[in-house]
Amino acid sequence: MAFISKHENLYDAIMRDSSFEIQAPCGGNHRCGKCKIRVMQGNLPIHDAERRHLSEEELLLGVRLACAHPDCEDDCVCEPYREHVSYTICSIHEETFESVKEEGFAVALDIGTTTIAAVLIDLYEGKILREKTFLNPQSRYGADVITRIAQTAKIGIEPLQSILVKKIEKELASFDGYAWKRMCVCGNPTMMHLFAGVDPSSIGQAPYRCTLDTYKELPGQQLFPNWKHRFVIQLLPPISAYVGSDVVMGLYSTQIMKQDKTKALIDLGTNGEMALYHDHRLYVTSAACGPAFEGGNMSCGSGAVSGALCRSGYDEKWHYETLEQAPVCGICGSGYLSIFHQALDNGLLEPDGYLAKELFFHPKAVVNQKDVREFQLAKASVIAAFLCMCRHASISVSAIEELYIAGGFGKYARPQDLLALGILPDKLSGRLHVLGNSALRGTCQYAIHQDIESIEDIRNRSECLLLAGDELFTQLFMEHMMLEICNEN
Amino acid sequence: MNELMEEIKTLMPKGKMNEVNALVERALKEGVPAQTILQEGLLQAMDIIAKKWADGTAFIPEVLITARCMNAAIPLLEPYLLEEKEAERPVVVIGTVQGDLHDIGKNLCALMLKAKNFKVIDVGVDVGADKFVEAVREYQPMVVCLSSLLTTSMGNFKVVIDALQEAGLRDRVKVAVGGAPITPAFADEVGADIYTEDAVALADTLLQYC
Ligand code: B12
């Protein structure tokens, strides 16, 4: 609950209270309409942005957008307004790892922009004892890394760091009593900087550089003074500002460089990181596709939460399924893939992206023309980056023997949808492997084996492709904006 | 002559660059004024596609394909157009602000402006305030267009606008801003004169200032 006085900036006041749960994907920029709060006392008039973004029902309930009241019209009391409850998690719980029979415990932590996953490992047995997945509390400062970096320029690093560290401390309470020796941490570079309390601003502006760009250890007490046992925090190193240690650890877990095969790995999250291993060299890049595949930036988009429309079918009329069969609350990434695929096959959507009529499933699940356009941008950037990478390595697509799909979203996406929409080349059909959270898996393996040489080897052999200013990328980006099978050889 | 123009207009959205060029050359040979070919052929084709974009039936690739044909054909006309009063074409300076390298949206804006017969000076990407000031001083444009796709770099709009003020040029030039994260409210906040959501609307808006 928060008390705001008349003439205060409502958004700023709420942001100052770190215990107030709120999301602000666009960082309070009046764009996304997601920073919803409920006014319990006080009278706030309804602004245009609120009419656009909120339903009748919500307006009646007293829901408002925090960012719409820079000069608060009344003294008021607000409470968090939560729509999304449980996130389905991407689990690796069942797995065991080869161990080196070292006594003790370790924690592996993957700090994602949206979700954070942590496991407690018994080093001797190579077994996972506990697992925890939770939302990154920094969502209140923006959905993507750039918006969060922009926030640090305004309010400093400390609020973003402390909210993150406190949340981790709280969620890991169930690991208490195991006195782990080390905590191995991976994540995208921005998350790593914010976790360690290092200024991330150099990542947000050309020429996009990391300050924290090597392997680093910190005493546990430095970040977590409340945990009394001694442990060391191991911060895993990135390849570049947009290819982070999460990708490095994913590559490590697949042992991509151990065999002499041509293989690739792709993460369909917001940054669209990808890597290609060929002839002893590793090419990496990031497609900056945005969060469309995860349901971000879409009018009815939602994360993979219970109630999200996740699959559809069409025979004269639409059928659909939601996660955990709960009442519809939105559409998640795999839902969009499935809908677009079906709509294309049934002529409701043109390959050039033209949507004659909105696709209606439910008042909370509608697909409009703008959603299709957003999706086309994301799709085109992924396939263009992927083909660029192949050209750069001078190989044809069909030379790739295996393509690993990493990341939370990849877990739910169906390969046939990815191929039919041309997000990945059709030639790779039958060679796709869905990995789930490979970053966390790799971090667990590292926690056990502590073989920093393998990690450094991955980094040393990698070559980061810069797509900005690359004519070929721009050309491919245009050519692949169509929603159709990609027949590249 | 009309058939030639009609044919140009059907072939351009299909990206038939060579055919379009051949038609343009034929029209010139047949004595059609360059200005007519430009206005009633090339620019009209762009206009049609721009309308389709505005009503949602066309998207970026269609616009670019058409624009690419236009760009390829314009050099054929230029020797004849030069005689006309080049000096009277309104000038626009456009660039992506410092910290950002995205240029696809900015290039599309430049193309749509060219299609409306503006003279466009593109200063590139990752452009600092001093370079914008210099360009404004040198080319004396009617409008300077600033693009930013990154939340981290959009603050640089203000830096450019302040620099123009400092150089005493702010009164002589309109400032337009845009890019995916930009809102009308933000454009106001930094003191820009013009904001539009897309390239077509930008070209239409700037025409009103001529
Ligand atoms: C293609 C793309 C790239 C390409 C850029 C290629 C190039 N030559 O420009 C590559 C892969 C290199 C790239 C890199 C990066 N990108 Co990028 N990219 C995109 C993507 C997918 C599409 C952008 C695009 O070209 N759209 C098509 C054009 C036609 O549209 P537009 O640019 O919006 O322009 C239109 C309007 O905005 C307007 N407009 C544009 N300028 C102006 C100016 C004026 C005056 C006016 C009036 C109007 C106007 O008119 C245009 C046409 O109608 C977006 C995602 C998205 N959905 O937007 C991310 C996105 C912009 N990128 C992003 C990021 C973070 C990056 C990186 C910094 C990091 C990364 N993850 O790799 C790097 C940095 C390198 C760099 N470019 O600076 C983020 C920005 C997030 C934020 N909050 O700021 C986005 C939104 C994706 C995301 N959500 O993460 N990217």
Q: What is the pLDDT of residues A305-328, one digit of tens each?
A: 888 999 999 999 999 999 888 899
pLDDT value of residue A355: 92
A158-171 and A189-196 helices, crossing angle to 10°: 90
- State mean pLDDT over A120-129: 94
Mean pLDDT comparison of A9-13, A140-144, A234-238, highest-scoring range: A234-238
Q: Which positions 19-48 of A are in contact with B (Cβ < 8 Å)?
A: 26-27, 29-31
- Region of poorest pLDDT, from A202-216, A302-316, A365-379, B180-194: A302-316
Range(s) within chain A of domains with CATH label 3.30.420.480: 105-235
Q: Which atom of ligand 1 is nearest to the CA of A469?
A: 8
- State mean pLDDT over B178-192: 95
Mind telling me how many Å the CA of A149 is from chain B's nearest CA? 7
Select the residue from A481, A483, A484 to test the B interface by mutation, using most B Cβ atoms within 10 A.
Answer: A481
Position A377: which residue type?
A: L
Percentage above 90 pLDDT, chain A: 69
Q: Do A369 and B56 touch (CB under 8 A)?
A: yes
Range(s) within chain A of domains with CATH label 3.10.20.30: 2-80
Is 3.30.420.480 the CATH number for A105-235?
Answer: yes
Distance CA A465, CA A472 (A): 12
Q: Which atom of ligand 1 is nearest to the CA of A384?
A: 11
Q: Is the pLDDT at B81 greater than 90, yes or no?
A: no
Q: Which atom of ligand 1 is nearest to the CA of B53?
A: 53
A245-254 and A438-449 helices, crossing angle to 10°: 80
Question: Which member of A31, A352, A468 has the closest CB to residue B59?
Answer: A352
How confident is the prediction for chain A on average, in pLDDT?
A: 91
Is 1.10.1240.10 the CATH number for B2-83?
Answer: yes
Residues within 6 Å of ligand 1 by CB? A 144, 146-147, 206, 208, 242, 270-271, 286-291, 374, 377, 381, 467-468, 473-474, 477; B 60, 100-106, 108-109, 145-147, 149-151, 176-181, 196, 198-199, 202
- State mean pLDDT over B55-63: 88
pLDDT value of residue B82: 66
The residue extents of the domains of chain B are 2-83, 91-207
Distance CA A141, CA A162 (A): 13
Chain B residues with a Cβ under 8 Å from any Cβ in chain A: 56-62, 64-65, 98-104, 125-126, 150-153, 155, 181, 183, 185-186
- State mean pLDDT over A207-213: 96
Quickly state the pLDDT bin for A115 (edges 50, 70, 90).
confident
CATH of range B91-207; options 3.40.50.280, 1.20.1250.20, 3.30.70.890, 3.40.47.10: 3.40.50.280
Residue pLDDT, tens place only, A27-67 = 888 888 888 998 888 889 999 889 888 887 788 778 899 99
pLDDT value of residue A143: 83
pTM: 0.88
Residue pLDDT, tens place only, A220-249 = 999 999 999 999 999 999 999 999 999 999
Q: Give, for ligand 1, the residue of B149, B177, B200 to mutate: max count of ligand atoms closer than 8 Å to Cβ.
A: B149
Distance CA A412, CA B120 (A): 47
Cβ proximity of A308 and A302 under 8 Å: yes
CATH for A2-80 is 3.10.20.30
Q: Is the pLDDT at B80 greater than 80, yes or no?
A: yes
pLDDT value of residue A66: 92
Both tokens assigned to A327? 């009442």
Quickly state the pLDDT bin for A93 (edges 50, 70, 90).
low
Beta-strand runs (E) in chain B: 91-96, 119-122, 143-147, 174-178, 194-195
Return the number of other C-beta atoms located less than 10 Å from residue A407's C-beta: 29
pLDDT value of residue A83: 59
Q: Is A147 on the interface with B (CB under 8 A)?
A: yes
- Ligand 1 centre and the CA of A350: distance in Å? 24
Distance CA A189, CA A397 (A): 29
Q: Which residue has the higher pLDDT, A19 or A252?
A: A252
Q: Is the pLDDT at B83 greater than 80, yes or no?
A: no
Residue pLDDT, tens place only, A255-292 = 988 888 999 999 988 899 999 999 999 999 999 998 88
b/e code A97-128 from CB counts within 10 Å (16+ = b): bebeeeeebbbbbbbbbbbbbbbbbbbeebeb
Interface ipTM > 0.90: no
- State mean pLDDT over A372-385: 96
Residue pLDDT, tens place only, A333-366 = 999 999 999 999 999 999 999 998 999 999 999 9
Q: Which residue has the higher pLDDT, B78 or B134?
A: B134
